[in-house]
Structure 1
Amino acid sequence: MSGGELKAVEPEEEVQRDTVRLLSGANGSSSEKYVLEDDEDEESKLDEWGLDGRYTFDHAVEHMGFGRFHWKLLMLCGVGYFAEITELVIVGFVAPAIEKDMGLSTVEYGLLGSSSFIGMAAGAVFWGYISDRFGRLISFSLTVWMTFIGGFLSAFSPNYPILFTLRFLAAFGIGGMLPVDYTIFLEFLPAKKRGSHIVLVGAVGVIPALFVSAIVAYSFSGKEDIKWRWVLGIVSIPVGIMAVLRRHVPESPRYHLAIGEVDKAQSILEKVAETNGVPLPRGKLAPLRKKGSSGESESSTSMHGKISLLFKGDILRATTPRLWLMWFLTQFSSSGMVFALPKIFDETFSVSKKRIALDLLWGVFGLIPGLTIAYFVVERSRKYSLAAYYVAAGASVFMFMLTTMGFLKNEFLAIVMSILLRGSMEGCFSLLNCTSVEAYPTLVRASGLGNAQIFDHIAGAMSPLFFSIFNDNTRLRPIAITVYAVAYLAAFVPTVTLPMDYVGLAIKD
Structure 2
Amino acid sequence: MTASVTSQPSRDDAEKLPVTKGDASSGYDESLESRAAREGIDAVYLAKVQVINRALADCGFGRYQWQLFFSAGFGWFADNIWLQAIAIVMPAIANEQGFRPYPGIRMATFALYMGLIPGAFWWGMTADVWGRRLAWNSTLFIGAVFGLAVGASPNFYVLCVLLALCGFGTGGNLPVDGALFLEFIPNSYNYLLTLLSVWWAVGQVVASLICWAFLAKYSCDATRIGIDGYQCTRENNSGWRYSMYTLGALMLFLWAIRFFVLPMHESPKYLIATGRDDEAVRVIQAIAKSNKREVQLTTDDLRHAAEPYFRKEGDGAQKPSGFSTLQLIKLSFKEWNTDQFKTLFCTPRLAWSTSLLIFIYGALGLAYPMYNAFLSGFLTSKGAESGDTSIDYVYGGYTYQAACGIIGSIAAAILVQWGRGGRKFAMAFFTVGSGAFLFGLTASRTQVQVNALTCMAALFQNAFYGVLYAYAPEVFPGTARGTGDALVSTASRVTGLFAPIIAVYSPAADSPNGPVYTAAAIFVATGFSMMALPIESRGRDAL
Q: TM-score, normalised by structure 1?
A: 0.85
Contact 1:221/1:354 (<8 A) preserved: no
Q: Residue 309 and residue 26 in structure 1: after superposition, are their counterparts in 2 closer, same or farther (change >3 A)?
A: closer
Contact 1:92/1:113 (<8 A) preserved: yes
Structure 2 residue identity aligned to 1:360: Y
Instruction: Give 1:16 deviation, angstroms.
Output: 11
Structure 1 residue identity aligned to 2:347: G
Q: Residue 336 and residue 496 in structure 1: after superposition, are their counterparts in 2 closer, same or farther (change >3 A)?
A: same
Instruction: Give 1:244 deviation, angstroms.
Output: 1.6
The alignment partner of 1:220 has SS state of helix
**Alignment deviations for residues 390-432 of structure 1 (CA, whole Å, 9 cap, x no partner):** 11110111111111xxxxx111110111100110111111111
Query: Where does 1:166-205 land on structure 2 (aligned, <5 Å)?
Result: 166-195=162-191, 197-203=192-198, 205=199
- CA–CA separation in structure 1 for the residues paired with 2:187 and 2:124: 23
Q: Which residue of 1 aligns with 2:16?
A: none
- Percent of aligned pairs with the same residue? 20
Q: Which residue of 2 aligns with 1:257?
A: 272
Structure 2 residue identity aligned to 1:237: A
- CA–CA separation in structure 2 for the residues paired with 1:338 and 1:478: 12
- Equivalent residue for 1:340, pick from 350, 374, 379: 374
Q: Which moved more, 1:432-441 or 1:275-284?
A: 275-284
- CA–CA separation in structure 2 for the residues paired with 1:484 and 1:301: 42
- CA–CA separation in structure 2 for the residues paired with 1:486 and 1:424: 15
1:483 aligns with 2:478: no
Instruction: Give 1:505 deviation, angstroms.
Output: 1.1
1:309 aligns with 2:324: no
Q: Residue 271 and residue 231 in structure 1: after superposition, are their counterparts in 2 closer, same or farther (change >3 A)?
A: same
Q: Which residue of 2 aligns with 1:5?
A: none
Q: Which residue of 1 aligns with 2:426?
A: 385
Two-structure CA RMSD over aligned residues (Å): 3.0
Q: Which moved more, 1:239-248 or 1:220-229?
A: 220-229
Instruction: Give 1:215 deviation, angstroms.
Output: 1.2
Q: Which residue of 1 aligns with 2:75?
A: 80
- CA–CA separation in structure 1 for the residues paired with 2:87 and 2:504: 12
Q: Name the count of aligned residue pairs.
A: 470
Instruction: Give 1:465 deviation, angstroms.
Output: 2.1
Structure 1 residue identity aligned to 2:134: I
- CA–CA separation in structure 2 for the residues paired with 1:12 and 1:376: 39
Q: Residue 322 and residue 120 in structure 1: after superposition, are their counterparts in 2 closer, same or farther (change >3 A)?
A: same
Instruction: Give 1:305 deviation, angstroms.
Output: 6.3
The alignment partner of 1:183 has SS state of helix
Question: Max radius of gyration: which structure?
Answer: 2
Structure 1 residue identity aligned to 2:208: A
- Equivalent residue for 1:67, pick from 48, 62, 80: 62
**Alignment deviations for residues 336-370 of structure 1 (CA, whole Å, 9 cap, x no partner):** 11111111112331322233111211112311331
Instruction: Give 1:477 deviation, angstroms.
Output: 3.7
- Equivalent residue for 1:228, pick from 197, 221, 240: 240
Q: Residue 193 and residue 13 in structure 1: after superposition, are their counterparts in 2 closer, same or farther (change >3 A)?
A: farther
Q: Which residue of 2 aligns with 1:286?
A: 302
Contact 1:55/1:281 (<8 A) preserved: no
Instruction: Give 1:212 deviation, angstroms.
Output: 1.1
1:109 aligns with 2:105: yes
- Equivalent residue for 2:52, pick from 57, 60, 64: 57
1:277 aligns with 2:292: yes
Q: Residue 402 and residue 85 in structure 1: after superposition, are their counterparts in 2 closer, same or farther (change >3 A)?
A: same
Structure 2 residue identity aligned to 1:116: L
**Alignment deviations for residues 51-89 of structure 1 (CA, whole Å, 9 cap, x no partner):** 9xx981111011112111000011011111111111111
Q: TM-score, normalised by structure 2?
A: 0.80
- Equivalent residue for 2:534, pick from 489, 499, 508: 499
Q: Residue 340 and residue 75 in structure 1: after superposition, are their counterparts in 2 closer, same or farther (change >3 A)?
A: same
Q: Which residue of 1 aligns with 2:134?
A: 138
Q: Which runs of 5+ in 2 are unaligned?
A: 1-25, 223-236, 320-331
Q: Which runs of 5+ in 1 are unaligned?
A: 1-10, 33-49, 404-408
Structure 2 residue identity aligned to 1:286: L
Q: Residue 400 and residue 55 in structure 1: after superposition, are their counterparts in 2 closer, same or farther (change >3 A)?
A: closer
Instruction: Give 1:282 deviation, angstroms.
Output: 5.5
Q: Residue 108 and residue 295 in structure 1: after superposition, are their counterparts in 2 closer, same or farther (change >3 A)?
A: farther
